[in-house]
């Protein structure tokens, strides 16, 4: 092994998302039931990782900073095994450093972002290029369920507990402008405390219908149809989450001409979805912001699913209100139990 390889350091990055457009139970290509989701991508916050190989450190020993990022540490160990095998080397330990800007516990994929950034940093340190399906497999092994952040921006139905794509729904989502907000005051959701979801055949038929409609919305670039799907999925998610402000948010969306609402099915972020082709977009966005803040629902960020120079030229952050009295992502457990103030995204 060359001296350069003995002390190689690699770097990785992964984005986050803004909750889900659709989440439920679906049939896979073999006709088997499995849980699946379609996330709403968001540029901006993410996790960055640096992995320094330690040739004198035993295999399986990875020191992580901050020390609570245990899922990312597990992912690094698994990635070392994979990359060393592919490179014909003996695995060793190392040091993993993470810098995350994704709020924890709000359903934005913070742990998956950490995990994927860690895997990519290890791969970079070994000079190995891991296919997305391998990264997905490692992510699921590290955290039991993973968001599809290792994939490109194409909308996919993803089996989060198995780390595989059930269906590529199309090339890109219809253009949308999203007025993001935080339900429950931005307090993290303890997903382990939620009641277990038991899906029956009626649920399966309903979700497959929504899947079909979402496929059509993507194919036609139909923002209104996508909004219908997201709203229906959000309503179903409310059976477990029971956010007190959800009806208020949905009412604002209907009153001010949004095409629908979406939520994080394992967190507290939500979004009002607007069609950027509708006249008076900026007026509608401002109206949504004022209405949400008037009801005491913190507004986090307005963003778009299209490139920033397209229909909605800039991403505007709203830096007033309780959702913005904070700094970067706090250190804490992978599944925090305390309320957290949402940083300005």
Distance CA(117)–CA(132), nearest Å, equals 12
Q: Which helix (H) or strand (E) holds 202?
A: helix 201-220
Average pLDDT over residues 280-295: 96
Please tell me the predicted confidence (pLDDT) of residue 102.
Answer: 87
Q: Is the pLDDT of residue 274 over 70?
A: yes
What is the rounded radius of gyration, in angstroms, for the C-alpha atoms of the chain? 20
Domain 171-324 in CATH 3.30.70.890: yes
Question: Is the pLDDT assigned to residue 245 strictly greater than 70?
Answer: yes
Check pLDDT > 60 for residue 314: no
Q: Name the residue with higher pLDDT: 139 or 187.
A: 139
Q: Tokens in use for 83?
A: 């990359």
Q: What is the pLDDT of residue 202?
A: 93
Residue pLDDT, tens place only, 66-93: 999 999 999 999 999 999 999 999 999 9
- Per-residue tokens: 150: 């290792």
Highest mean pLDDT: which of 211-215, 311-315, 330-334? Answer: 211-215
Are 1 and 252 in contact, with CB atoms under 8 Å apart?
A: no
Rounded mean pLDDT, 167-189: 89
Higher-pLDDT residue of 316, 56:
56
Whether 10 contacts 51, CB under 8 Å = yes
In this prediction, residue 104 carries a pLDDT of: 83
Please check the confidence at residue 342 and state whether its pLDDT lies above 80: no
Q: Which CATH number fits domain 3-166: 3.40.50.2000, 3.30.230.10, 1.10.3720.10, 3.40.50.10890?
A: 3.30.230.10
Mean pLDDT of the chain: 86
* Residue (of 334, 72, 335) closest to 192 by Cα position: 335
User: pLDDT, tens digit, for every residue of 107-122?
Assistant: 999 999 999 999 999 9
Is the pLDDT confidence value at 321 over 70?
no
pLDDT value for 185: 75
Q: What is the pLDDT of residue 198?
A: 79
Higher local confidence (pLDDT), 186 or 126: 126
Kindly report the pTM of this predicted structure. 0.85
Residue-range domain boundaries for the chain: 3-166, 171-324
- Per-residue pLDDT at 121: 98
Nearest-10 crossing angle of helices 70-87, 132-143: 140
CA atoms within 13 A on the CB side of 265: 25
Q: Tell me the DSSP string of 265-285.
A: TTSSEEEEEE-TTSSSHHHHH
């Amino acid at each position: 092994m060359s001296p350069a390889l003995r002390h190689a350091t690699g770097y990785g990055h992964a984005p986050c998302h803004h909750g889900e457009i659709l989440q439920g139970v679906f049939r896979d290509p073999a006709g088997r039931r499995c849980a699946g989701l379609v996330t709403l991508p968001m540029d901006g916050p993410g996790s960055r990782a640096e992995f320094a190989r330690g040739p004198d450190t035993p295999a399986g020993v990875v020191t992580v900073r901050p020390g609570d990022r245990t899922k990312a540490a597990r992912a690094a160990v698994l990635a070392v095994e994979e990359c060393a095998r592919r490179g014909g080397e003996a695995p060793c330990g190392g040091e993993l450093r993470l810098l995350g800007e994704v709020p924890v516990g709000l359903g934005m994929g913070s742990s998956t972002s950490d995990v994927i950034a860690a895997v990519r940093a290890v791969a970079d340190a070994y000079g190995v290029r891991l296919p997305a399906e391998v990264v997905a497999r490692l992510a699921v092994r590290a955290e039991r369920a993973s968001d599809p952040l290792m994939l490109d921006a194409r909308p996919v139905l993803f089996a989060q507990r198995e780390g595989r794509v059930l269906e590529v729904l199309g090339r890109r989502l219809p253009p949308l402008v999203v007025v993001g907000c935080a339900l429950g005051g931005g307090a993290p959701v303890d997903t382990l405390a939620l009641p277990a979801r038991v899906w029956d055949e009626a649920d399966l038929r309903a979700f497959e219908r929504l899947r079909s409609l979402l496929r059509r919305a993507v194919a036609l670039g139909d923002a209104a149809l996508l909004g219908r799907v997201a709203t229906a999925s959000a309503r179903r998610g409310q059976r477990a989450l029971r956010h007190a402000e959800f009806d208020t948010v949905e009412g604002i969306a209907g009153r001010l001409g949004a095409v629908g609402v979406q939520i994080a099915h394992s967190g507290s972020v939500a979004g009002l979805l607007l069609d950027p082709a509708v006249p008076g977009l900026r007026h509608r966005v401002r109206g949504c912001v004022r209405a949400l803040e008037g009801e005491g629902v913190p507004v986090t960020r307005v963003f778009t699913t299209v490139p920033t120079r397209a229909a909605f030229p800039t991403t505007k952050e709203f830096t007033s209100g309780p959702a913005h009295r904070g700094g970067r992502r706090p250190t804490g457990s992978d599944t925090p139990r305390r309320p957290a103030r949402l940083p300005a995204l």
